[in-house]
Amino acid sequence: MIKLLEPQFTVERIWGISPITLKKMGVTTILADLDNTLVAWNKADGDTDFFEWHNLLIKNNIQLIVVSNNTTSRVARAVKPFGLPFESWSMKPFPRGILKTLKDFNLNKDEVIMVGDQIMTDIIAANLAKVKSVLVKPLVNTDGILTKTNRAIANMVLKNLDIKWEKDLVERNRN
Classify 39 as helix, strand or coil: strand
Choose the stretch contacting Mg ion; rule: CB under 5 A; options: 25-33, 84-92, 99-107, 156-164. 25-33
Smaller CB distance to Mg ion: residue 74 or 96?
74
Going by the DSSP 8-state scheme, the letter that residue 29 receives in this structure is E
Choose the stretch contacting Mg ion; rule: CB under 5 A; options: 6-14, 35-43, 153-161, 167-175. 35-43
Choose the stretch contacting Mg ion; rule: CB under 5 A; options: 56-64, 86-94, 103-111, 115-123. 115-123
- Going through 13-161 in order, the beta strands assigned E by DSSP cover 29-32, 63-67, 86-87, 112-116, 132-136
Give me the least distance between CB of 118 and Mg ion, in Å please.
5
Residue 87 as a binder of Mg ion (CB under 5 A): the answer is no
14 HSE (CA, 13 A, CB side): 32
Closest to 101 measured CA to CA, from 32, 10, 15: 32
Binding site for Mg ion (CB under 5 A): 33, 35-36, 117
